[in-house]
Amino acid sequence: MRTAPFLCILTALVATLPGHAAQDFSKDVPGSKDPAPLQRIDGSVILRQTSKKFAALTIPLERILFDYKEGKPKPFAKTAAEGALTTTFYRLPQDASTLEAIRAYQGELEAAGFEVVFEGTSGGKPSGDSNTLDDGYGRFIERVYESETDYGVQKYVLAGSDDFRYIALKKPASGDEGDIYVTVFAGAVTDSWKDPEKGLLTGTIVARVDVLHEKPRANRMVTVKAEEMEKQIDSAGRIALYGILFDFNKSTLKPESDPTLVEIVSLLKEDPALKLLVVGHTDNVGDFEFNRDLSARRANAVVESLVSKHGIEKGRLFPFGCSFASPAAPNTTEDGKAKNRRVELVRWN
């Protein structure tokens, strides 16, 4: 478990803030605890921990490769889980290994009813065929982890480490509880990444442990009434709507979208001359072209619903996908990404 650099960036920033002392890496970071249903390897210390009520976690199902002919990563089989997510970075005791980290968590979780979904290792040479996670250059980290990227390890740590392993496990839903996923990435801290002042010691292991409890997203968006839509469009020419919901990476409208769609219908019926661009927007998770296609399909799904289910004339609506070309907020935080995932109505007559 040696995922070093992410610690470097975070602690450097904290240490420079007025009134903030450098973190004591001999103890758990204040406010942290082992995420349920896990215990820790004896002698481990929590270096960083974040929790989100609703977030996405990518679980790869095969090795990640680069297509040199096309100049981009190849598509890979994966599962995208959504729910309550806790991310914890541990530094293991000095005598631990990446293999021990993976096997310890695997044994604990399998005894609790989890099953292995995917497992891989660098094989001691990240650029060789013995690497069953990727074909080098940190592509596994870059493609799998989309959060806590300020922690450094996410993309670049593998360039300085020959020893890293990963395992993903799943416990199927039971009763009122959804599926539970646990993923563990363990990497070795090397001389190129060490930073003793930040708790990163050559020869130690750092592990990123993600625990996700699948659950539906709580709809915290207030449905915008037709009158408010009209006011916003009259004053700004457009309105951003957050009550139109889709599954992760899909374009099928969720039932929770119905109240907002009904208000759009009321808006259009109140003003028979009104024509609207229905514009889909995404965050920056994934490449631009994928998101352009996704945002276009989502916009088209809204138009199709308004036409087929609510009798709106198709000529009054034009679907358009923006990808992440027009963000409403920076894509550097989960809150910012949430603001960017939206559908906008834009007057075009």
Number of CB atoms found within 10 A of residue 24's CB = 11
Strand duo 342-347 + 276-281: pairing? antiparallel
Cα dihedral 242→243→248→253 (10° resolution): -140
Query: Prior bond to 37 cis, omega within 30?
Result: yes
Looking at residue 11, its pLDDT comes to 35
The residues pairing with 241 across neighbouring beta strands, listed in sequence order, are: 343
Query: Prior bond to 259 cis, omega within 30?
Result: no
In sequence order, the 6+-apart residues with CB closer than 8 A to the CB of 36 are: 211
**Segment 282-324, tens digit of pLDDT:** 999 889 999 999 999 999 999 999 999 999 999 999 999 999 9
**Residue 265 near residue 306, CB atoms below 8 Å:** yes
Which residue ranges make up each domain of the chain?
17-214, 226-347
Residues in the chain with pLDDT values less than 50? 1-20, 150-159
Determine the CATH number of domain 226-347.
3.30.1330.60
Residue 74 burial class via C-beta count within 10 angstroms: exposed 0-12, middle 13-18, buried 19 and up: middle
Number of CB atoms found within 10 A of residue 18's CB = 4
Strand duo 342-347 + 66-67: pairing? unpaired
Q: Which pair of structure tokens corresponds to residue 273?
A: 């001359």
Looking at residue 327, its pLDDT comes to 93
**φ, ψ (nearest 5 deg) of residue 335:** -65, -40
**Residue 4 near residue 194, CB atoms below 8 Å:** yes
**Segment 320-341, tens digit of pLDDT:** 999 999 999 888 877 788 889 9
Cα–Cα nearest to 49, from 85, 19, 93, 8:
85
Looking at residue 297, its pLDDT comes to 96
Stated length of the chain: 349
Q: Which pair of structure tokens corresponds to residue 216?
A: 């539906």
pTM of the model: 0.59
Q: Which pair of structure tokens corresponds to residue 304?
A: 């199709």
